[in-house]
Amino acid sequence: MLNICLELENLQKRYGDNHALRGVTHTMQGGKIHALIGKNGSGKSTLIKTIAGATTASNGVMRLDGLCLALQNPQDALNAGIVTVHQELSLIPELSVAENIYLGRMPKEKGFIQWKTLNEQANALLQKLGVSDIDVTSKVSALSVGKQQIVEIAKAMSLHPKVLQLDEPTSALAKKEVDKLFVLLNRLKQSGVLLIYVSHRLSEIMEIADEIMVLRDGEWVGSLQRTEVTPKKMVDMMFGEVDEFQRKDQRIRGEEVVLEVKNLHRQGLLNNVSFKLHKGEILGIAGMLGAGRTELLRSVIGADTKDGGEVFVKGQWIKNPTPKTMHRLGVGYTSEDRKHTGLVQSLSCHANLCLAGLKKIGKRGWISQCKEAPFVTKQIRDLQIKVGRSMNPISTLSGGNQQKIVLRNWLNIAPNVIMFDEPSRGVDVQAKQHIYKTIWELSNQGLAAIVVSTELEELPAVCDRILVLKNGTLTHEFTASTTAKELYEACMTPLAD
């Protein structure tokens, strides 16, 4: 059995004036699973990237088995025996399992790939890992997400790592697939590999981790052994003294129901979700990664097909919701992925500000830049969008200003409801305040909004009411008087069996 030791000493990472890591010092041992937790922006990703060689520390030392590591790139980390499995899988769907595992390292003779040898090697590796239900000749695209995750780990293990980092490995897995993955991780642990496991799912951490390590605002808070852990202890360590997001004035919601969802169901994703949204209300949806928040919004707007349930807009039953139908009824949706689905990167800021409202702007189908100009000018002024010229490409703007354009684009249709998926992702504090101030002002004028955010600190200040979604099930309802700590504990506490 290997005797691996990874030491971090005064590890720091600065981006200008921003300190992403502030002197992290800790020692990890092989043959254990070390879970790394912290709220968003705590420095988890930076630490993982630093250990993986994807970013270089500004100060500090890393030692593996007593030898100092000078990692300039991921290849240096691989050469040292450090392999990282990222949240987004790096497999090639149309290649076989064996090809994906040994891509770039396939056995050859006289320049020709030895397919029999390749498949035998892949089979032997999977057997060693205790995996017997994956055909190495199958295309990866034919496998479930859970089996793809196992192939990704097998690919990592083919490199004979001393340290294996796993970033949110279960975010897209069903419970049965998670159980299979945990069997594999325990097998790797027993072989002496040092595993670093990043996850928001408290129930998984308490089940799989030997040690829980906590970061807060780039600083090392401490660690707990599995036997010491409770949900409250973990949340207290993650938060400490919380600086609450600037709270808005409390309001009394209207009585009119503008959107109602009844028993919405998607196999394996959503479990009979029901809620009502009132005129002028801001409703928050809280939950950890993989809870089903985005899936809920996409099912309501009709971007994804639901397996059961009903959607009503102002009391009208919508038989088969589609984005076009919901748009016509005054329901808008801003995607969490503004780059690919919220904006058209090849178009100008001017054009992106008009996309949702073309029918309103261009009566009888006639559109011109002169007709669009007043709408564009108003939107840029009202939300203080920093743009040199409105005809510049949208890609020239900062993330915060791009997010403002996503929001203002939908306001051209004078919607009754807008569903915001991660409206503050990747924006600075000032832009965030502008975005939420606009949502508050619009809600005072009668707009109803649903806000999904992983920044749980924001939701009590932004929303009138907050629902907690966990593994596709609504479990709690809070008022705006709740705290971020209470939300995190509700989101992270395991569901009762």
What is the tens place of the pLDDT at every residue in 104-156?
999 999 889 999 999 999 999 999 888 888 999 999 999 988 889 899 999 99
Please list the residues that pair with 284 across neighbouring strands: 451, 466
CB 58 within 8 A of CB 14: yes
**Domain residue ranges in the chain:** 5-239, 279-305+319-492
- The CATH architecture of the domain made up of 5-239 is 3-Layer(aba) Sandwich (3.40)
Please answer whether residues 145 and 177 qualify as being in contact, where contact means their C-beta atoms are separated by less than 8 angstroms. Answer: yes
Instruction: Give how far the C-alpha of residue 417 lies from the chain's centroid of Cα atoms, to the nearest Å.
Output: 24
What confidence category does residue 228 fall into, taking pLDDT thresholds of 50, 70 and 90? Answer: confident
- 17-61 confidence digits (pLDDT tens): 778 899 999 999 999 999 999 876 788 989 999 999 999 999 999
Per-residue model confidence (pLDDT) at position 35: 95
Please report the pLDDT score of residue 400 as a whole number: 60
More confident residue, 249 or 158: 158
5-239 shares its CATH topology with 279-305+319-492: yes
- Please tell me the predicted confidence (pLDDT) of residue 207: 87
Identity of residue 357: G
3-state secondary structure of 472: coil
Tokens of 421: 């998926």
SS3 (DSSP) at 251: coil
Of the candidates 439, 481, 477, the one whose C-alpha atom is nearest the C-alpha of residue 460 is 481
What percentage of the chain's residues is helix, strand, coil (to nearest 5)? 35, 25, 35
| Interval 177-219: pLDDT, tens | 788 889 989 999 999 999 999 987 777 888 899 999 999 889 9
So what's the pLDDT on residue 287? 87
Residue 243 structure tokens: 């600086």
**Rounded average pLDDT over 302-319:** 93
Q: pLDDT tier at 344 (50, 70, 90 boundaries)?
A: low
Fold of 279-305+319-492: Rossmann fold (3.40.50)
Listed residue (141, 451, 67, 467) closest to 297, CA to CA? 451
Using an 8 Å Cβ cutoff, are 436 and 424 in contact?
A: yes
pLDDT of residue 11: 95
Confidence class of residue 273 from pLDDT cuts 50, 70 and 90? Answer: very high
CB 410 within 8 A of CB 447: no
256 pLDDT above the threshold of 70:
yes
Q: Is the pLDDT of residue 305 over 60?
A: yes
Give me the mean pLDDT over the 360-377 stretch.
62
